Structure 1
Amino acid sequence: MAVCLLALAVTLAACRDSGQGDYVNVSGKIFVFNYRIAEATYLLTLAKLRKIPDGSSLETTFENPAGGDPFVVRQDIWPTMDKITVESPPVKCVKANREYQVTMRLEDAKGVVLQTIERKMISDTDQSLMPDKPLVVGPFYDPNPDKQPAPPTICPA
């Protein structure tokens, strides 16, 4: 009987949050090519591993595939969120089989960094396959009346 109680106590102690380790991990990452609206974005999902302090925020920096300054997205993290979704603004010039850098910083309410995650993202599709302009417009997906091609985007090699 004493052995059973000891085993139960050890098991319960192992289940307690030790307050150490990562808060989140990357559970998914993909480039989204929405051909209907002619946009591409980075999309990542994070799974919560333990309680995140109230008032925390996530700052995500996405490499700009077209060159120039990276895109920075900052969002509040709510304690009730089990899954966190991070999406970049629309990007241009995504090349297939090229690595793009993404850095995420989880900060508490005072700006103290709780966790930093760095990932490389690789697309299996080249953005040059996308239409220049949206194929549809409006809430009812009406065909785009502007059939003129958009000026070409100049992308780095």
Structure 2
Amino acid sequence: MTQNRISPIRTMTFGIAAIACVGLSGCQRETGDEPLQLTGKIFVFNYRLAYATYMLTFEKKEALPEGSFVVASFENPAGGAPLTLERKVFAKQTKIVLESPDITCVHKEKPYAVTVELRGPDGDILQTLKTTVTSNLDQNVLPAKPLVIGPAYEKNPEVFRDGKVPAHFETASCAS
């Protein structure tokens, strides 16, 4: 007669595997906590068109209800009311990019507040993200006027008088 005995090594291996499985499942994020993950935040300075914007990027971590949207509120570096932006989130999107309206008066090394709310189709808040964006440049790196105009990026006659490059470009300034 043969005995059906399980070896101690096999028992120990099974026990370690079971503990590992339970431990790993405890590390997984539960669904519904954070559907969007912030993956990047910068200021964009468009030298040719003489404007700056905030840009934030997000990765969608889970499916969202059809009709969901984001509402972003950007601190206005020039002062006054925050600048707002609303964008629909599409089902097949995996990445979301938010670019603010044009801004002025960005100061180097000053943190500016941004709040992004993910809302469901009924307007209920699904997630709120608060962050700051800090520039390593001042707004005065930009020209005071766009260097090009129009859809063909023609030279701006206010900058390039008589078609000639000025000896010095006037730079953007801010009263504050």
Name the TM-score class by shorter chain. 0.7 to 0.9
TM-score, length of structure 2 as denominator length = 0.76
Q: How does 1:1-157 map to 2 (within 5 A)?
A: 18-147=30-159, 154-156=174-176
Structure having the higher strand fraction is 1
Q: Identify if the C-alpha distance between structure 1 residues 22 and 130 changes in structure 2 by more than 3 Å, giving closer, same or farther.
A: same
Residue-by-residue CA offset, 1:104-124 (whole Å, 9 max, x unaligned): 000101111100000110000
Structure number with higher relative contact order (C-alpha < 8 Å, ≥ 6 residues apart): 1
Aligned CA RMSD, in angstroms, stands at: 2.7
Distance in 2 (alpha carbons) for counterparts of 1:17 and 1:154: 45
Residue-by-residue CA offset, 1:74-98 (whole Å, 9 max, x unaligned): 1111111000010000000000100
TM-score, length of structure 1 as denominator length = 0.84
| Structure 1: runs of 5 or more not aligned | none
Distance in 1 (alpha carbons) for counterparts of 2:136 and 2:174: 20
Does structure 2 conserve the Cα–Cα contact (< 8 Å) formed by 1:17 and 1:50? no
Structure showing greater Rg: 2
What SS does structure 2 have at the residue aligned with 1:128?
helix
| Structure 2: runs of 5 or more not aligned | 1-13, 162-168
Q: Identify if the C-alpha distance between structure 1 residues 51 and 17 changes in structure 2 by more than 3 Å, giving closer, same or farther.
A: farther
Does structure 1 conserve the Cα–Cα contact (< 8 Å) formed by 2:140 and 2:173? no
Sequence identity percentage? 38
Distance in 2 (alpha carbons) for counterparts of 1:29 and 1:142: 31
- Equivalenced residue count is 151
